[in-house]
Structure 1
Amino acid sequence: MARRALPSTAAAFTTAAVLLLTGCGGGDKSSSGDIKGADTGSGSPSASASTVSGVKRPDIKLPGSFKANFADWTNSDPALQTAMNDGKERLRASYAAIIAGDPEYSALSFYSGTSAMSTGAKWIKGYKGLTIVGQVKAYNPEISYIGDAKKRATLAYCVDEGKGYSKDLKTGEKSGTPKGESPLVEYRTSLGKQADGVWKTMTVETQPGGC
């Protein structure tokens, strides 16, 4: 997938990459499955509300022209599973924001802390006049707590963008991963648990070829 340069700020993305999150890892791999609403519908993505553990979360629906697949995103710790799911949904929200052409996309804001939202919005603006099509695969997630309070965590994973493309909205021209660059992107994020139980992404680092 053709990459847009990410703005540089201290508390968010520190390396240029394709989509928004980071890391390679492992975790409990008992099953795989996509979040409800993924890879369905057509046209612009939408975000309705769904309830998880008593908290309403956006139900993000991506158009049929773009698929985000997640392999083995499971963990034996229920709290870490919730954090992993919220981290996954932020990645999907970032894709939806690009497709919608909306840097202030509500679902992205829902799953982002202030710094990550600010940087993410600037990054999405880099896709002006473009959309994304094809499919990506996020795999090998690793998640763990930071500290004993269990209110912060790190989530790392890999994204294979080899079958993902940016598409010019006027010409229809598609661009993939630049020649000589790896389509595998490593994402490393930090998450913070909010008072309502939602795990927001606070910081993100990405490294093309890091996987």
Structure 2
Amino acid sequence: MRNHKATTAAAALAAALLLTGCGGGSQGAGAKTVPGADTTGSATPSASASATPADRANRPKVTLPAGDVLTFDPEKTGDPVKDTILADNAGYLRAIDEAIDKQDLRSKNLAFYSADQARIGNAEWIGGFVKDGTTVTGTVRYFNRQVTVDKDGSAGLTYCGDETKGFTKDRKTGKVNVTPPDKDSYVSYVTRLRKNTQGVWQTTVVNSVRGDQKCQP
């Protein structure tokens, strides 16, 4: 399981880095929310919700840590708009793990896929791993991914995370912190996304609940 508590120092460092480098809103991280939670916030202006081939161009290359695997179900729905949203959500989640491994609170790849509260919440989450001296490894399965596109051009995406085979790893010793699976190995996510002028569906708000009954096997 990849749960941890972001320390005050880590959160302060994240906020300071964002204020000087990225900007953003506010989002918390804690034992019951991963990675971050917020129920309010402004959304950035967007282009229309229509998808074109150009929408999938120029996505950055994201490199996961060695031994880290993320799977997504479903990956596609057959609807071009929803499929772009699912793909950008997958890019967002991969960028989080990449930033954790690189200890990069100013990750350009993560900034590419996130904005507003989600961006500062991600930095707090990553800062907790930096403080703990850990990275991530193993397999995390994201499932029951469901997209709703709203009339205002924004989108909602809900999904579950299965961390029964996903763990943290000590950077110095390389020891994997294996924990037995339990109800807290499953996390529910409710997210908001908005398409920016470059055609990228950026995650702007994340609400998560560890141990949510609806994600239990």
Normalising by structure 2, report the TM-score: 0.73
Give me the whole-angstrom Cα distance separating, in 1, the residues matched to 2:200 and 2:137: 29
For the Cα contact (< 8 Å) 2:35–2:121, is it kept in 1?
A: no
Which residue of structure 1 aligns with residue 4 of structure 2? 4
Identity of aligned residues (%): 32
Alignment of 1:99-114 (within 5 A): 99-114=101-116
Which residue of structure 1 aligns with residue 199 of structure 2? 197
Which residue of structure 1 aligns with residue 138 of structure 2? 134
Which residue of structure 2 aligns with residue 46 of structure 1? none
Q: Give the match's secondary structure for 1:197.
A: coil
Give me the whole-angstrom Cα distance separating, in 2, the residues matched to 1:154 and 1:14: 21
Which residue of structure 1 aligns with residue 47 of structure 2? none
CA positional deviation for 1:96 = 0.9
Q: Does 1:20 align with 2:48?
A: no
Aligned residue pairs, count:
180
For the Cα contact (< 8 Å) 1:188–1:206, is it kept in 2?
A: yes
Q: Structure 1 regions of 5+ residues with no counterpart?
A: 23-50
RMSD over aligned Cα, in angstroms? 2.7
Which residue of structure 2 aligns with residue 169 of structure 1? 171
Which residue of structure 2 aligns with residue 27 of structure 1? none
Normalising by structure 1, report the TM-score: 0.75
Amino acid at match of 1:172: G
Higher helix proportion, which one? Answer: 2
Q: Structure 2 regions of 5+ residues with no counterpart?
A: 12-23, 38-52
Alignment of 1:7-156 (within 5 A): 12-13=27-28, 16-17=31-32, 19-20=34-35, 53=55, 55-128=57-130, 129-146=133-150, 148-149=151-152, 151-156=153-158
Residues 81 and 2 of structure 1: CA distance in aligned 2, closer, same or farther (over 3 Å):
closer
CA positional deviation for 1:52 = 5.2
